Amino acid sequence: MEPEIYFNIVSHIRKSRGLTRTCMKQLVKLFPEQSYDTLFSILSLEYQKRMKCNHMKTQMNKNKYWELYLEGVKNMDSPGIIVRIAERLDVAPCLVAKLILSQYFENNESSGSSDQVTLNVNSYLRDTTLIPDMNLASEIFLCTLYDNIYSPLTETMRSSVGQQYEVKLCREVTKLGLGFRDEEHLRKHGYDKTPDCKLEVPVMIDGLVVNWIESKALFGDEDVHKDYMKNQYLSYWNRFGPGLVIYWFGYVQTIVEPNDKRFTIRDHVPQNMIHISPPNFEMDDTPGTGT
């Protein structure tokens, strides 16, 4: 993706306030040439950065969120009290829900230690039917429906999408007739950090030798790429040599360094791979030359 287009998308996201669902609808209308997956990935990354920056402030407002919730209950407001609080204060609904749940259990004398409170919060966010207070349970459930970034359902879907694209990578590599070892096989043989595909025989892509391929079902921006480079790609390069990174939902062109020979970046599996055939050793039938 060209930097100008990327910065226009990011600029709109950073100016947007309220629910990410609303922002996503606007992005689809403003940037129809971009795929839904690409726009949602950029939105998710940017919104998570915003929430991290405001983390301490959000934590400090726990009592405020709890009081606003109780006020809504007292006034018999329509369902969606916590969602509306989150929208008004520009915080992810599930993050507000977690803090309200935490306060709820802290106010309960039988809630136990802080570790137990955290355990209860995470468990009840995943299964709201376990929350003793039926009204609160209903409110928390609505948060999981309206939050498309931090909801447990979204986390499960994100993990599932990642696995689907890893399967897609393996299928496409197989169709190209390339032998490879997957992540599970490498871990069984003692590798702690492993790419999704370790090629048995290297290939050439635009003049670069490729020994491994890593699949990422997201958009590659500067921060994402730097983080993965530090924690994964450089380890792969040290162990296996240069490789290929695939950001399936696209990437901003500024992360590509033309002179970097450690790995190449794509948003698909290249079809122009040059196979490097192993040497063809012929048996010498002359008597006395065998070993």
Q: Tens-digit pLDDT profile for the chain (291 aa)?
A: 999 999 999 999 999 999 999 999 999 999 999 999 999 999 999 999 999 988 777 778 888 999 999 999 999 999 999 999 999 999 999 999 999 998 888 887 555 555 566 677 888 899 999 888 999 999 999 999 999 999 999 999 999 999 999 999 999 999 988 888 877 777 776 666 789 999 999 999 988 899 999 999 999 999 999 999 999 999 999 999 999 999 999 999 999 988 888 989 999 999 888 877 655 544 444 444 443
Q: Is residue 289 part of a domain?
A: no
User: Does residue 281 form part of some domain?
Assistant: no
Note whether residue 284 is domain-resident: no
* CA pair distance 153, 253, nearest whole angstrom: 31
- For residues 20 and 140, membership in a common domain is answered with yes
The answer to whether 232 touches 210, Cβ cutoff 8 Å, is no
Quote the pLDDT of residue 66.
Answer: 93
* Residue 134 in domain: yes
- The full 3-state SS of 215-258, as one line of letters, equals EECCCECHHHHHHHHHHHHHHHHHHHCCEEEEECCCECHHHCCC
Pick from 274, 279, 221, 275: which is nearest to 38 by CA? 221
Give the residue from 93, 112, 146 where a domain finishes.
146
Both 115 and 178 in one domain: the answer is: no
- Both 183 and 270 in one domain: the answer is yes
> What CA–CA distances, in Å, run from 5 to 30, 42, 165, 262?
11, 12, 25, 27
Residue 35 inside a domain? The answer is yes
Residues 173 and 107 in one domain: no
Same domain, 70 and 183: no
- The whole-angstrom separation of Cα 165 and Cα 235 is 22
In a domain, 291, yes or no: no
| Measured distance CA(88)–CA(22) in Å, rounded | 13
Q: Does residue 39 lie in a domain region?
A: yes
Distance, CA of 199 to CA of 208 (rounded, Å)? 14
Q: Are residues 180 and 142 in the same domain?
A: no
Considering the entire predicted model, what is its pTM? 0.85
Domain end among 111, 146, 181: 146
The SS3 assignment for 178 reads: coil
Residue 141 and residue 13 share a domain? yes
Range of the domain at 208: 159-275
For residues 96 and 283, what is the distance between their CA atoms, to the nearest angstrom?
72
The total of structural domains in the chain comes to 2
131 three-class SS: coil
List the end-to-end C-alpha distance of the chain, in Å, as a whole number: 58
Residues 269 and 194 occupy one common structural domain: yes
Considering the domain architecture, whether residues 27 and 134 belong to the same structural domain is answered as yes
14 and 119, same domain (yes or no):
yes
Per-residue pLDDT at 254: 94
pLDDT at position 286, please? 45
287 occurs within a structural domain = no
Query: Exposed (0-12), middle (13-18) or buried (19+): which is 127, by Cβ within 10 Å?
Result: exposed
What's the pLDDT at 290?
41
